[in-house]
Structure 1
């Protein structure tokens, strides 16, 4: 048997919440001490696990009470359904990650998802899509991205960064060299083929962003060595005149 305090420390569920679950008939203690303190056995803890899984899936308490209060409630079947729902949720989160990666490739500001707690993920996705989703470039990217798997997106990112590694191999020379200029057009073609139509105007904007500092500059320099981002931006500027 565990006391309410021990259960709270084990599960992270507050004592107040456990008392409330008891009050509404969702999770009753298995017994009480002589002093009236709640005690919970393994069966009660298993029920709490079920409750927490349902809560993680954002089921309202009234629905959980209804589901778990049924005579025909099958714990194993419920667990199978919870696993299926969690898999769907996992896929949803992966789509959000892929969406963020896509925005990053499009040249908008980088986003550190560690700065967002789980409750704000959907809010951010809606705001970001509202901000960028009406542009022809984003719509084109979204269409192409929808046809790729997560693994294919990872491969695409790796190929994209390889282009900057190749810029890094050229940075010892001049940004107006034939090799550097050919690499600029190779970059532009890659973006057009895999992401969205990269016009000269867009490419010019990307070049300025690449050398502006921050995460993009750091990532490019990490791929091709320090100074690669500035060299790439200079080569783009020469190419576009």
Structure 2
């Protein structure tokens, strides 16, 4: 059974404009287009659309989704199993965050007391949702080394690591209105380079590529910009300059 674009949009809970965009970028091309130019979507199209929306919910970019679905090795059943596991993990993280927020509200009202440790129980930095992308860009060795270094840490050490990360972000956020090639900015971004190279070997090219990802990937950009709007772009520019200076040495 074929469905028209408006019906398909209503089924999926998205806009007609979104479906047109998916068609334009080759992500979801309807199997049939009538002589009058109407798009008609097949059952296979609807299955692909479902996959697109699952991956989108999990934070994948449209470009990455297209690469996955167009791969000759793509298996729909395997993808569904993976998506289910990822969604369950996401739900678990959200449940912990909601519980922590509820307790924090009660604490703010003076109804309960919270220890400093309890204030951060919902945050988990032991898993990295961008790991696969890192593997694709820089290979397994650097990522495996970084994962092992973090996995070998105690919970207290991991919490200290997270705070150290945030401290560097906050320092860079203060500098983001200035020039990325200033002495202060380059000193701060140098601290970031020293920090991440404690957990893996990053060449200047890999460091520059990481900066590009901070801007290109919406998830990275939104997370970094929580410390200050425009921080991701500032870091990308500062990292590019720092990498170029490293290559000159």
What's the TM-score, normalizing by structure 2? 0.45
What's the TM-score, normalizing by structure 1? 0.46
Q: Could you say which structure has the larger radius of gyration?
A: 1
Larger RCO (CA under 8 A, 6+ residues apart)? 1
